[in-house]
Structure 1
């Protein structure tokens, strides 16, 4: 959705290889690497390629205590790896084991096999990959179930996985939650047009209004144009992409300078997957979930409507459910305010997936037992 915007920002970074810029990057990356060190006795810090769906796909597993709940992240984009946010979300790993996966067509997975080595790039194929990754993690970590965390486009996969496989997941958490309703709700689109009018972007407004009413007929170029304008017309979203997303990419200790181009290539390459769910209807697919269900959304998200997410949430039937808005955030709310997101995970999600410890037995006083 936002590949064009990120590519524009990244191009400026990669085109400025001044010694001062690279020296600053090296210093910050070194600090981030130190901060990400896990040396606890029962911790885990491993990453590498796993054969998933017939190709090598990159998976990272990090946490300070393997006794903690396991969280499998499904990144957005499509093609936008969340591995770059490791330093920002370091505190999450004190309470959860965080699994991050570069889907086929994404970042390190794309870099490993190249465009020709990604196989079938469809929603259905990546959905099957997600099930396989889930089972790999369950086996590797010896757990029955994992928490499923869907970010943005990843939440489209997440809803369906959580509904279909309650035996694999102990809770679902959506953020930047995408809700599909076959186009019945056009509030996000109308708000977008209003922003273009308010900022005097009449040429851009005319271009958007000239698009076919049926989004299935849009070309890849038209989709990219729409996505770029939707994001850049909102100051908070644009600020977040530049500072949080691009800043994290530039300073990630997990990715070399040469690898950064794969992040951008991955988002462009994965655009072909985006058209898959355009006709989905989440209400028709079902609002019943057999596992705890949570949505934590940026209160000012202009890309994935918090109001639409709330309407769907209100209709959800689940054993436990919770909804919260994250203040002063648009898209990427979990990464703009990672500590607030962690507070929500600890207050709502962890209690729903961790059995309470049994109360200690009261000490028996001498003479208090019954006579035999």
Structure 2
């Protein structure tokens, strides 16, 4: 959904002469590769393709200590990947084993088989893949349950995985939480019209007005346009795209120049699943969870607003739940301030886990509900 905005943000990153730019890229990528090194006897650093949902899908499993709790991260988009963010989240791997997955239609999974080899690209297929990935990780690492970390569009998957398969999940953590309400709330649409009008964006304003407020009637292209306009008129989010996402992509030691092209291709390939999600209703699907439930949102996020995430959170029943705002952040809040997010994982999420080692039937602590700022 954010592909076009990210393409525009690329200009800020590649505005230097080509030769000097590539030389600098090589130096920084080499430095980043060294920083990613895991050499301890108790550590794990595995990157490989696993057969998930009938196709080869790329996984990364990294951490300093195999006995740490396991986090399975579900990236956003759809079509984006978080494997580009490894250097920003390096410290997370000192306290958790972090599993990253390039979903079908995205990243290295897309590059492996090409657009025509991705099979069915629907939300239901991605959710089935996510369950299979968790099962694969449990068997590979010998752990009973994992922390599910859903980011943006991936949080819609994570929400459903945590609700329907609590036996696999130690805790659910959503960041940039995506919330569906069956089309009842059109406040995001009205807010975008207002921002476009105040910015004097007449062409974009006309396009959004033509789409109408009912996202259930939008085409895949219109969903992409709405996300692009929402992100471009959100100063915090657009700034994070340049300083966090684009720089991480450009300097990622795991991604070649050709893979940078694949990164953007993923948004277009995956957009076809968006119309099928517009009628989802998180309240109707059920707000009772049998696992600890956490939401961490950028206080200034205009893409997936804190108010919308909070409205769902308030309806959730869970043995433990907590809602937290990250100040000075919009979308990508956890990755703009990875130190604050790690502190939240350590101080709020980890204490709810009764046991963190392999082969543990991980449970949770007594119930509590809180809202905090970090």
TM-score class, shorter-chain normalisation, is over 0.9
The aligned counterpart of 2:61 is 61
The aligned counterpart of 2:112 is 112
Kept in 1, the 8 Å contact 2:70–2:99? The answer is: yes
The aligned counterpart of 1:189 is 189
Tell me the distance in 2 between the aligned counterparts of 1:345 and 1:8: 33
Deviations 1:213-258 (A, max 9, x none): 4323323332232222111112221111111111100000111112
What TM-score, normalized by structure 2, do the two folds share?
A: 0.92
The aligned counterpart of 2:2 is 2
Are 1:81 and 2:81 matched, yes or no? yes
Unmatched runs of 5 consecutive residues or more in structure 1: 358-372
Tell me the distance in 2 between the aligned counterparts of 1:274 and 1:282: 16
Deviations 1:152-192 (A, max 9, x none): 00011111100000100010000000111112222222221
Alpha-carbon distance, 1:15 to partner: 9.0
Tell me the distance in 1 between the aligned counterparts of 2:161 and 2:136: 15
What TM-score, normalized by structure 1, do the two folds share?
A: 0.92
Kept in 1, the 8 Å contact 2:145–2:169? The answer is: yes
Are 1:312 and 2:312 matched, yes or no? yes
Q: Counterparts in 2 of 1:8-23, with a 5 A limit?
A: 8-10=8-10, 18-23=18-23
The aligned counterpart of 2:143 is 143
Tell me the distance in 2 between the aligned counterparts of 1:188 and 1:54: 37
Kept in 1, the 8 Å contact 2:219–2:275? The answer is: no
Tell me the distance in 1 between the aligned counterparts of 2:75 and 2:250: 18
Work out the number of aligned pairs and report it: 357
Relative to structure 2, which stretch is displaced further, 194-203 or 41-50?
A: 194-203
Tell me the distance in 2 between the aligned counterparts of 1:222 and 1:318: 36
Deviations 1:319-356 (A, max 9, x none): 11111000010001111110010011111111111439
The aligned counterpart of 1:204 is 204
Alpha-carbon distance, 1:13 to partner: 5.8
Tell me the distance in 2 between the aligned counterparts of 1:179 and 1:198: 26
Tell me the distance in 1 between the aligned counterparts of 2:13 and 2:323: 37
Q: Give the greater-gyration-radius structure (CA).
A: 1
Instruction: Describe the SS at the equivalent of 2:99.
Output: strand
Instruction: Describe the SS at the equivalent of 2:143.
Output: coil
Tell me the distance in 1 between the aligned counterparts of 2:44 and 2:34: 15
Relative to structure 2, which stretch is displaced further, 195-204 or 179-188?
A: 195-204
Alpha-carbon distance, 1:6 to partner: 1.4
Kept in 2, the 8 Å contact 1:313–1:323? The answer is: yes
Deviations 1:120-144 (A, max 9, x none): 1111111111111110000000000
Call closer, same or farther: CA 1:356–1:216 in 2, change over 3 Å: closer
Alpha-carbon distance, 1:17 to partner: 6.8
Call closer, same or farther: CA 1:297–1:52 in 2, change over 3 Å: same
Instruction: Describe the SS at the equivalent of 2:181.
Output: coil
Q: Counterparts in 2 of 1:290-369, with a 5 A limit?
A: 290-355=290-355
Deviations 1:293-342 (A, max 9, x none): 00000000101011111111111111111110000100011111100100
Alpha-carbon distance, 1:5 to partner: 1.0
Alpha-carbon distance, 1:12 to partner: 7.4
Kept in 2, the 8 Å contact 1:288–1:318? The answer is: yes
Aligned-residue CA RMSD (Å): 1.7
